[in-house]
């Protein structure tokens, strides 16, 4: 090895002597890589580290990359030779430049640190890869170093969950000495000035990504790595799966600093959509509205109740439509209408919906076994495979969560079951499907049936692609419990949080996810707030629950319309309000006015559609409250306001220098400003 090193060094010295003799200058130690309008990556070829400058301010410093390859920990800082090259590229982000630092050293695999920059994008991407022989890794960190203190007070770090299971919440906490780890993306921002930095993965087909942020006395620390595994967040009970080959690559990471962190998160959401374009067909029909049986009826669903619900939508609220239809969706326990493989009753119900001008929907969890307590020898639908052979093996047992056992998405039995059930749904004529507990398909396992699949995200990709192919572009695809970012390729519509129904507490829980996850509206065609249930709650709580759906982007009801109650009359009033139906046609989420709610929900949300500016205000408390809202803070051009009214109660409002209002406890209001 010593002789090899001497030869390697001598060759490098000879090359330098040749360059000097030819009269050329030695390569510069500092490489300036421009991105966006004013961004610069200042890469030091001597140290293998770099600094990021935006708007003349140093944002990140001492940044480098590190990975565990086979038994070694390799870093850009401990390679001896670094060479820089660049090539022009053109992709979904536009025309740009791919910059590569090639790092070499005796006895080590070739390391490449890559940057992607675009003049029209005020952020960049970075990744790291290694080339050698029989490389293995489950930990690659393409971005680690210091982040500089932000301008403005109330500096916070954001926790973003991996999925929306177990009633998990987003949360912002004071940026301090205690590290915070977030799934896929990390954000540090000032709630006062709104200045913020963002770093997160835009690739989710191989890795689960973690982002850790932490403050110290002079600056902050940030780490972004592929290989994140934490039972409370990713649900994994074992380490991240191993990736192997002669070339191994980290996830591609989005990095940027923004004057308004909310605008930065919008850009991050859009970047995910571009980096991993949808596998499912693009939805071009109007924003979906409709009903789901899990809101109230739940396990008590039957054929007669389902018929009565369809008739209520057709006969009692015919104006509750976008385009010419609404979706009527049967959730879990629809199989009570199936006997010994006979789906004729389901088809009869679906045909009835269509005869009423409605689109029938159905529900299924493709990667779970709910009957696992019955033993491993039960035969799965669609073939002769035993459920026990299909179970995902983790550690010394299996993966059980939410009462269901995970199925290996790559197993032929899982695939045969998917093909059989989806085939039955297509025969019945269903036009929508709600798919649930998808996170069970993304779990890390001891091994998968397909030996080429070695990580949970690879398994999720394989399972979801197979599932979507079976649907033949015939259904609106809605995800309930699912990975937040990785599902963007596969579904049109995704529930933003876990189950929520009728109370002001349910409304606040849902809006916690909108407060910090609204930006996923750019990743999916639509986000959904789950079941809007009026039931026997006070009318203020009804208004808040309804408005939480409109703020999220779509409108799916959940009351029991097979019988009469106070909810039916209120639904007739609110569900046919042309102002609300016009708003939901836009289909995009509102943005939070502030990000200081900790693990609670923001109280104020805004959205502009053309010359109309909406402000939604929620009071989650039991007692009435007074609000004073600044036009400037809301982003409302005060000098351009022509008129304003409150939409839910149709009240005229006087124009003042700001918004002064009193809101009853457990209530909400929607203000509509018309601009010049």
pLDDT single digits (tens) 149-191: 788 889 999 999 999 999 999 999 999 889 999 999 999 999 9
So what's the pLDDT on residue 349?
A: 98
Q: How far apart are the first and last CA of the chain?
A: 75
Q: Tell me the sheet residues that pair with 102.
A: 83, 112
So what's the pLDDT on residue 150?
A: 81
15 — pLDDT class (breaks 50, 70, 90):
very low
Rounded to an integer, the average pLDDT of 68-96 is 97
Lowest mean pLDDT among 77-81, 268-272, 429-433, 437-441: 77-81
Q: Does residue 639 carry a pLDDT above 90? A: no
Sign of CA dihedral 177, 180, 181, 186: negative
- Tokens representing residue 645 in the block: 């009214």
Region(s) of the chain under CATH 3.20.20.70: 289-590
- Dist. CA 365–CA 360, nearest whole Å: 18
Here the contacts of 17-21 (C-beta below 8 Å, separation 24 or greater) are none
Q: Which CATH class is domain 29-275?
A: mainly beta
Three-point CA angle 659, 593, 640, nearest 5°: 50
Please list the alpha-helical segments (H only) found in 373-455: 387-390, 412-428
430 with 337: CB under 8 angstroms?
Answer: no
So what's the pLDDT on residue 148?
A: 87
165 with 479: CB under 8 angstroms?
Answer: no
So what's the pLDDT on residue 3?
A: 38
Give the residue carrying structure tokens 């039991």. Answer: 622
- Dist. CA 519–CA 551, nearest whole Å: 12
- Dist. CA 230–CA 240, nearest whole Å: 9
So what's the pLDDT on residue 182?
A: 98
pTM for this model (two decimals): 0.94
Half-sphere exposure of residue 32, counting CA atoms within 13 Å on the CB side? 6
- Dist. CA 335–CA 343, nearest whole Å: 9
Q: Phi, psi at residue 269, to the nearest 5°?
A: -60, -45
Task: Write the pLDDT tens digit of every residue in 385-444.
Answer: 999 999 999 999 999 999 999 999 999 999 999 999 999 999 999 999 999 999 999 999
- Tokens representing residue 522 in the block: 């750019």
Give the residue carrying structure tokens 């421009």. Answer: 34
- Dist. CA 354–CA 175, nearest whole Å: 54
Rounded to an integer, the average pLDDT of 646-653 is 89
- Tokens representing residue 207 in the block: 């890795």
Rounded to an integer, the average pLDDT of 287-293 is 97
Rounded to an integer, the average pLDDT of 219-242 is 97
Match domain 604-675 to its CATH number in 3.90.420.10, 2.60.40.1180, 3.30.420.240, 3.40.50.720.
Answer: 2.60.40.1180
Cβ density class 355-366: b for 16+ within 10 Å, e for less: ebebbbbbbbbb
Region(s) of the chain under CATH 2.60.40.1180: 604-675
The closest of 507, 455, 468 to 618, measured between CA atoms, is: 507
530 — pLDDT class (breaks 50, 70, 90):
very high
Taking every pair of C-alpha atoms in the chain, what is the biggest distance, in angstroms?
94
Angle between helices 456-471 and 412-428 (to 10 degrees): 30
- Dist. CA 631–CA 403, nearest whole Å: 48
27 — pLDDT class (breaks 50, 70, 90):
low
- Tokens representing residue 63 in the block: 């940044």
- Tokens representing residue 454 in the block: 């070695």
Region(s) of the chain under CATH 2.70.98.10: 29-275
Q: Phi, psi at residue 119, to the nearest 5°?
A: -60, -30
Local structure of residue 392 (DSSP, 8 states)? P
Rounded to an integer, the average pLDDT of 27-34 is 88
The closest of 535, 538, 533, 539 to 506, measured between CA atoms, is: 533
Q: Does residue 19 carry a pLDDT above 90? A: no
Task: Write the pLDDT tens digit of every residue in 655-665.
Answer: 787 888 899 99
618 with 650: CB under 8 angstroms?
Answer: no
Give the residue carrying structure tokens 């879990």. Answer: 332
Sign of CA dihedral 119, 124, 127, 128: positive
Give the residue carrying structure tokens 């029991």. Answer: 560
574 — pLDDT class (breaks 50, 70, 90):
very high
The closest of 644, 599, 646, 329 to 476, measured between CA atoms, is: 329
- Which CATH superfamily, name and number, covers 289-590? Aldolase class I (3.20.20.70)
Local structure of residue 322 (DSSP, 8 states)? B
Q: Does residue 22 carry a pLDDT above 80? A: no
So what's the pLDDT on residue 28?
A: 73
């Amino acid at each position: 090895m010593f002789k090899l090193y001497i030869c390697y060094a001598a060759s490098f010295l000879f090359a330098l002597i040749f360059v000097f003799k030819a009269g050329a200058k030695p390569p510069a130690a500092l490489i300036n890589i421009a991105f966006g309008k004013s961004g610069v990556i200042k890469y030091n070829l001597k140290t293998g580290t770099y600094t990021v400058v935006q708007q003349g301010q140093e944002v990140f410093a001492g940044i480098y990359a590190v990975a565990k390859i086979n038994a070694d920990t390799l870093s850009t800082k401990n390679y001896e030779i670094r060479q820089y090259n660049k090539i022009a590229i053109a992709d979904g982000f536009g025309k740009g430049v791919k910059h590569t630092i090639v790092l070499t050293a005796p006895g080590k695999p070739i390391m490449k640190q890559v940057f992607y920059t675009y003049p029209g994008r005020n952020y960049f991407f970075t990744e790291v890869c290694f080339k050698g022989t029989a490389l293995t890794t489950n930990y690659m960190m393409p971005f680690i170093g210091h982040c500089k203190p932000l301008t403005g007070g109330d500096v916070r770090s954001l926790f973003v969950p991996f999925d929306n299971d177990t009633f998990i919440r987003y949360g912002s906490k004071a940026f301090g000495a205690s590290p915070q780890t977030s799934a896929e993306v990390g954000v540090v921002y000032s709630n006062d000035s709104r200045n913020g930095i963002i770093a997160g993965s835009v690739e989710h087909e191989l890795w689960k990504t973690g982002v850790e942020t932490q403050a110290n006395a002079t600056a902050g620390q940030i780490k972004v790595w592929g290989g994140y595994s934490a039972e409370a967040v990713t649900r994994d009970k074992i380490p991240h799966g191993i990736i192997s080959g002669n070339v191994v690559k980290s996830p591609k990471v989005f990095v940027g600093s923004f004057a308004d962190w909310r605008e930065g998160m919008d850009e991050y959401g859009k970047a995910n959509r571009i980096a991993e374009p949808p596998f499912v067909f693009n939805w071009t029909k109007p924003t979906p509205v409709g009903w789901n049986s899990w809101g109230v009826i739940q396990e008590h669903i039957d054929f007669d109740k389902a018929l009565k619900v369809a008739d209520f939508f057709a006969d009692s609220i015919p104006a509750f439509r976008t385009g010419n239809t609404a979706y009527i969706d049967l959730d879990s326990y629809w199989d009570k209408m199936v006997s010994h493989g006979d789906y004729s009753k389901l088809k009869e119900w679906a045909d009835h919906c269509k005869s009423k001008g409605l689109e029938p929907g159905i529900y299924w969890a493709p990667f779970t076994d709910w009957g696992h307590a019955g033993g491993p020898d039960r035969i799965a639908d669609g073939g002769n495979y035993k459920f026990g052979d299909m179970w995902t093996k983790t550690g010394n047992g299996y993966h059980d969560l939410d009462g269901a056992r995970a199925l290996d998405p790559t197993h032929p039995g899982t695939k045969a079951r998917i093909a059989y059930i989806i085939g039955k749904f297509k025969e019945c004529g269903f036009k929508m499907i709600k798919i649930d507990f998808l996170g069970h398909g993304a779990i890390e396992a001891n091994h998968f049936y397909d030996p080429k699949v070695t990580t949970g995200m690879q398994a999720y990709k394989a399972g979801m692609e197979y599932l979507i192919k079976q649907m033949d572009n015939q259904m609106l695809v809605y995800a309930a419990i699912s990975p937040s970012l990785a599902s963007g390729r596969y579904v049109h519509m995704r529930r933003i949080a876990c189950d929520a129904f009728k109370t002001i507490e349910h409304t606040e829980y849902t809006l916690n996810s909108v407060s910090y996850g609204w930006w996923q509206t750019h990743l999916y065609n639509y986000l959904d707030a789950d079941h809007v249930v009026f039931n026997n709650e006070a009318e203020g709580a009804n208004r808040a629950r309804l408005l939480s759906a409109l703020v999220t982007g779509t409108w799916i009801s959940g009351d029991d319309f097979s019988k009469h109650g106070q909810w039916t009359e209120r639904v007739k009033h609110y569900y046919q309000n042309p102002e609300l139906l016009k708003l939901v046609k836009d289909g995009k989420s509102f943005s939070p006015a502030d990000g200081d709610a900790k693990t609670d929900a923001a109280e104020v949300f805004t959205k502009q559609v053309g010359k109309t500016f909406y402000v939604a205000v929620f009071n989650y408390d039991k007692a009435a409250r007074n609000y004073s809202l600044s036009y400037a803070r809301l982003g409302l051009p005060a000098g351009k306001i022509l008129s304003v009214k409150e939409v839910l109660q149709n009240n005229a409002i006087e124009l003042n220098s700001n918004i002064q209002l009193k809101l009853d406890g457990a209530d909400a209001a929607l203000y509509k400003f018309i601009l010049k």
